[in-house]
Structure formats: C-alpha cells, structure tokens
Structure 1
Amino acid sequence: MGIIGIRTATLLLAALAWRSVLVAAAGEADGVFNVKDYGARGDGTTDDTKAFIDAWTAACGARGSSASLLVPAGKSFLVGPARFSGPCTSTRITVQVMGTITAPPPGAWSGQNYWMMFYQVQGLTVTGGSTGLLDGRGRSWWWSDKFNRYGDIYKAPTALVVMNCTDVELSQFSSKNSPQMHISVSQSSKVHLTQLTTTAPWDSPNTDGVHIDRSQDVRVTRSTMGTGGECVSIGPGSRFVTVDGIVCGPGRAVSVGSLGRKGATESVEYIDVKNVQFINTSSGATIKTWQGGKGYARSISFTDINFTNVDRPVVINQFYADPYHVPNMGRWR
C-alpha cells in the first residue's frame, strides 16, 4: 500500500474510532439512552421535556431486541406534558425511572388531560426502585379557584397514561400527589402493574391509584395505595382484570364502575379481586352504575377481603351520582 493509501486508512480508522466515542457518549453503544446525554439538566427548574422526548425517540428507534431509557438517580427532572409514542423498533423498551420526575405548574399544560402518556407501544416496561418517583404536584390543582373539587376537577390531568399498548409492565416506582388519577390503563391489553405505591391526601379529589377502562388481561398486584379516590377503579369495557394483594387506604374503594353514565350501554366482566386490605377507607368492595344506564356487570368476585375502620365495607349502588358535582357527597363515593 502506498503512502496515500496508508494515510487514507489511518484517517478512516480515526474517524471510526471518533464515531464510536460519540455513540458511546450518547448511550447508544449498549442500548441505554440516558436523558442527560440528550440535554436534561435534572435541576428541578429547567424544562427537560425535549430531552426526554429526544431520548425516547432514540431508544424507540434503536435496533436490537431491547433498548432502555434511563432517568438517573439523584436528580429531579421537570417534564411535561409529554407523549411517548410507538410503535418501536426493538421488541422490548424499558424506561428506568431511578430519579424524580416532577410535573410543571397548571399554567404549562395548555389543555392536555395527561401528564405523561405511552401510546401504541408494544413490549413496554416502566420500572424504578426505591428512588423512582413521579411527583404530580397536585396541590396546585386541587384547591385553586379554577379547578375546585365540585366544578372543573375533570379538567385536571391524569399523571401516567398507558393507551393502545400491549404487553406492558409497570413496577417498582412511586407516584404522589397526581393532579387527578395517578395511573390510567386505557384500550390496552396484557398489562401488569406490580409493587407500586401511590399516595395523595384523603381529601384530594379523584386521585385514583389505578384506573382501568376498555382494557383486558390486566393485573394489579402487590401494591400500596392511599389516595383521595379509589385505590383501583375498573371502568367500562374492561374484561379479565385481576386485583391481588393490595393495601388500600386512606381513600375509597376497589370499585367496578361507574357504568352507564347518560344512559350509555356498557359492560364489565370477569373481574377477580382478592387478598385486599382496606384500612381507614370510606368504602370497600364496590359496584356502581348510573340510573338509566344499560348493559351488564357480571362474573365479578371479591374474596379474602379484610376491613379495618371502613365506613361501608360492601357497596352495590345502582343510583350512582357523581360526588364531585354534588356538594357534601365526597365521602359517599
């Protein structure tokens, strides 16, 4: 090889080596995409939404059998609202929430009804550990004049939404003070929620721990939920739902419904609720339907349920009225 050929080869090798350094710096070499490598500051005040979206886009588009988006420990990331959309290239994508993700104040939402959403993702894991936390900063929503508990609370966003997804696991992280529901599973299948902790004051409006609607093959297991709404609510169109090993309280119930609002035809079936401890709740095992609604709620079982200081352990209500629009009914939901 001539001198020119040697120099060309040397330059080519140097370029490849430099590219390898850049790839490794972005976290792509091992399939882990750290949000800090995409510009996230993690100081609790800088808006890190774009960095999270960019890291998700890179992880979702990565080739191979799996990819991970990492939210590192020891940092607080101000994010949202944010939508993480699929489908993704890899067969399994994992979001590792090791630090804190903090919601912005109400003025930053521009009408969105969710804080963070995973949409049309197949093969998703969202997991954390002892340090993984979603902080919805709900107090700025609950008691403001604009979002009062008997007026416009349904405009407040849900913290984490899983929509149109398949083969999902949410595990080992905490969610506190969601503006409205902590976690919503909608129009999804094969979803397992386990070892989760959701917390909010007992009088915070509609802060359900987990809400499920129009979904099937959903399991909620080994979790602790103390909120101002239901610990688990199973809404219209849900089938084959298991709730097992939940500690519920303070809060309201594990409920099926409400069903049939404004005369709608709805159905819920094959629901198995077991090994639940209700502690200091206003209600326990609950089924509720609106007057004038149509459809059915069938094949529902509540077994091995324990009650401690529960106002109404079992409630079957076929004349349900929304407590957040009827004054002085908050404890009777």
Structure 2
Amino acid sequence: MGIVGIRTAILVVAGLAWCGSVLAGGWEERVFNVEHFGARGDGLTDSTEAFVHAWTAACGARGASASLLVPAAKSFLVGPTKFRGPCAATRITVQVMGTITALPASAWDRQNYWLMFHQVDGLTVTGSGGVLDGRGETWWSNRCRNGDSLVLMNCTNLELSHFSSKNSPQMHIAVIQSSKVNVTQLTITAPGDSPNTDGVHIDRSEDVHITGLTIGTGDDCISIGPGSRFVNIDGIICGPGHGVSVGSLGRHGAMESVEHIDVRNVHFINTMNGARIKTWQGGRGYAKSISFTNINFTNVENPVIIDQFYVDRGVVPNAGAVALSNITYTNLKGTSSRKTAVDFDCSDSGSCRDISVSSVLITASDGRGTEARCRNAQGKTSGYVYPRIPCLS
C-alpha cells in the first residue's frame, strides 16, 4: 500500500469514531457518537467505559466546538462517571437525545454522584427528548447514602437545557463552585415522598440564571446553598416538593453568606413550603438582598416562611443565627392549606431586619381566614397585605 493509501486508511478508521457537520461558517464541528465507542443502547449493557472514551475524544478535539452524542430512541446504562476538563474546544456540547439510565444502587462503589462534569468551561448539556433516569427507587427504600444525579463542579459558561431528569437517588442537579450558569426548559420529577431529591441545588456559585423549569420532587424544587450570589430564578412551576429555599445556612456554627437572590414568577402547587429561608442556630454570617416577586400559591402548607431554629445537637438554644436583611416580598397571592400563611420565626439575636412586604393576599384553601405568625422580625408593609403581619410596621 502506498503512502496515499495508508493515509486514506487512517482517515477511514478515525471516521468510525466521529462524524462531522459543516456549519454556516464553513468549519466542521466534530460529533462523537457514544455508539461508535462501544456503547450499547439496549438498556441492559453497561456502557460506562464507552461514555468515558467518547468524552475523552470529544474533550480533546481541537477547534471552536465539539459534541458528544447520545442517540435518540435508545437507553444507555451508565455507572458513576466523572467527565473531566478542561477541554480543547471553546464550546463542548453533550447532546442527550436518548435516555441515560443509572446502574442500580447495588452496583455503585460508594460514589456520592452519578454523572459529574468537573472543570469544564463552555459546557452545554442539552437534548430534545433526552432523559437522565437516576433509578432512585433502588436507593430510597433502604435510605442509603444517596448520590446526586448530575453534578457540575468548577465549571464556567455552563448551559443546561431541554432535557428531563427523573428519580434521582438524591439531588437531581447540583451546581457547585461554578459561574455564568444558565439552566432553562428542564422537567425534573420524582415521587413526593422520595427523600432528598432536590430539583436544582446551587452551592458556592454566582451569576446563575434558572428559567422555565417544571419541578416536582420529594424535597426543595430549588435550593440555594452557602456562598451563592447573584442567582435569578424566573418562571418556575413547583409541586410537589418543599418549595424554593434559601439555605439551610450556618450548620455546625459555620460562617456562611448568600446575597442577591431574585425569585420571581413562581407557581407553587400542593407543596410543603413556598418561599422559604432557613438557617441553623449558632450559625454565623449573613443572607441579604433576597426578593420574592409575583408568587402564586395553590394549597401550599407554608406559603411564606423564615425559620431560624434548625438546631444541631449540643447547640444552646438562641445561640445566634445567620443575619438576614433586606428581604423583600412583593405581589404574593393564592391559598394556604394551613391557617398560618406567613411565618417569620427569627432568632432572639435580632438577626431578621429590613423585611419589606407589599401587596399580599393569601387565603385558606377551605375558604376560611388566614393569619401571620412572627417572632423577632423587623421591617414594614405597604399596600394591601393579608394576612396582617403584626410585627411589621
């Protein structure tokens, strides 16, 4: 075989592992199909190794962009996997067109995550019709130490869109120590009694935008953890679940901070909580500049709640708490399943200040009246506010 023939053979072999598509600019995006690396979409064969090899090839591909493709109409069985960066391409996309199904709990090796993307800049995870199936039912009954389904750690310029996540062992999506994050148009589901199955958890991250999600789980629809700032949540349907929660903050006396959180246009349906802020006694630090705007409640157990009385063992009651300030509630309406529709339960240390409540109408689901309960909260109301909040001027 001549030199030209050898080169042709090499290109043919390489072409088996990837395919390209010519874009408008004239350059070619490399698309790496997991099946070309040995993945079997039969829902029975462990394809973990094939996914790792496909990711290694896609992440190492040079150019403006590269993609890892999970084909439609197939189910791929994958165990706990870390997809490591940084990658060579400016933008790397994971196209989840089919279903990725987790191995059952018995096959995990004490990992606290299922799929993790670590230190990947310019990552998009998307896919019309794509599903992440965490098979959490294999964990929940035994109360195992569950793992989170999809973890994004130390990533920047991150986008998650147009796929579904169901039955996570624990949290469905955890965004950790990441920035410039856009999460949009996702459907996240788990039974209402499934433990710790938060929809989206934000931890030590900033510049996060969450829009257009439909979430029904056994825990918080969205939880915002310590070290998070500039988080915008807009257009969410939540239920069942425990609401949108800022916290919990300050456990084991930790010094923690959260600031500039904007939650708007959320509809809570048959949830345990609605707009919630929760901290631990003995904690330190602050949570400030938090707003809830245009919120609807349908048969919610605790529509508006601040709870500063989570207690660790050995902590002296009223030992101080994370300081809350500049908390704003505007245009809240709907129904409560309990008589107490607004509950501001703050520490004796004067840690709840500058609470502003405007335009609120929350009635009882059974047609009766509602009330507000408050302790140690300071602030003001404006416009029509029902139920009346006695501790605010």
TM-score (norm: length of structure 2)? 0.76
CA distance in 2, matches of 1:17, 1:179: 47
Whether 1:63 aligns to 2:62 is: yes
Query: Aligned with 1:132: secondary structure?
Result: strand
What is the CA-CA distance between 1:14 and the residue it aligns to? 1.9
SS of 1:20's equivalent in the other structure is helix
Aligned equivalent of 1:88? 87
| Whole-Å separation in 1 of the counterparts to 2:121 and 2:138 | 34
Give SS of 2:191's match.
coil
CA contact (8 A) 1:23 1:29 kept: no
What does residue range 162-201 of structure 1 map to in structure 2 within 5 Å?
162-201=152-191
Counterpart of 1:252 (choices 222, 242, 250) is 242
> Is 1:134 aligned with 2:124?
no
| Deviation by residue 1:19-71 (Cα, 9 ceiling, x = unmatched) | 22222221155500000000001111111000000000000000111000000
Correspondence for 2:12: 21
SS in 2 for 1:173: strand
Partners of 1:28 and 1:16 in 2: how far apart?
18
Q: What is the Cα deviation at residue 107 of structure 1? A: 1.6
RMSD across aligned positions (CA)? 1.3
Supply the AA of the counterpart residue of 2:243. Answer: A
1:16 is displaced (CA, Å) by 2.1
Q: Secondary structure at the match of 2:58?
A: helix
- Cα separation, 2, equivalents of 1:265 and 1:248: 30
Q: Deviations over 1:174-230 (max 9, x none)?
A: 000000000000000001100001000011011000000100001110010000010
Among the aligned pairs, what percent are the same residue? Answer: 68
The corresponding residue for 1:239 is 229
Distance 2:293 2:20 in 1: 49
2:32 aligned with 1:33: yes
Show CA shifts across 1:233-288 (max 9, x none): 00000000000000000111101000000111101000000000001101100000
Match of 1:122 in 2: 121
Query: What amino acid does structure 2 have at the position aligned with 1:235?
Result: G
Measure, in 2, the Cα distance between the counterparts of 1:22 and 1:95: 23
Q: Secondary structure at the match of 2:285?
A: strand
Alignment partner, residue 75 of structure 2: 76
Paired with 2:230 and 2:45, the residues of 1 have a C-alpha distance of 42
Distance 1:112 1:203 in 2: 23
Distance (whole Å) between structure 2 residues aligned to residue 88 and residue 312 of structure 1: 45
In the alignment, the residues of structure 2 paired with residue 320 and residue 301 of structure 1 have an alpha-carbon distance, to the nearest angstrom, of 22
User: How many Å separate the matches in 1 of 2:255 and 2:161?
Assistant: 33
Q: Distance in 2 between matches of 1:107 and 1:97?
A: 25
**Residues of 2 paired with 1:315 and 1:280: CA distance?**
16
Residue of 197, 218, 225 corresponding to 1:207: 197
Q: Given residue 3 of structure 2, which amino acid in structure 1 is its aligned partner?
A: L
1:272 aligned to 2:267?
A: no
- Decide whether aligned partners of structure 1 residues 175 and 321 sit closer, same or farther in structure 2, where only a CA change above 3 A counts: farther
Secondary structure at the counterpart of residue 13 of structure 2: helix
Distance in 2, matches of 1:279 and 1:256, equals: 19
Counterpart in the other structure of 2:301: 311
SS of the residue corresponding to residue 212 of structure 2 reads strand
- For residue 83 of structure 1, report the CA deviation from its aligned partner: 0.3
* Other structure's SS at 2:54 match: helix
- The higher relative CO (CA closer than 8 Å, separation ≥ 6) is in 1
Q: Which amino acid aligns with 2:11?
A: S
Q: Which ranges of structure 1 fall in alignment gaps of 5 or more residues?
A: 1-9, 148-152, 323-333
Tell me the distance in 2 between the aligned counterparts of 1:246 and 1:19. 50
Which protein is bigger by CA-based radius of gyration? 2
The structure whose residues are more often strand, as a share, is 2
Q: Which amino acid aligns with 2:18?
A: G
SS at match of 1:54: helix
Secondary structure of the structure 2 residue equivalent to 1:309: strand
Residues matched between the structures, number: 305
TM-score (norm 1): 0.90
Provide the rounded CA distance (Å) in 2 between the counterparts of 1:283 and 1:62. Answer: 46
Shift, 1:321, TM fit:
5.2
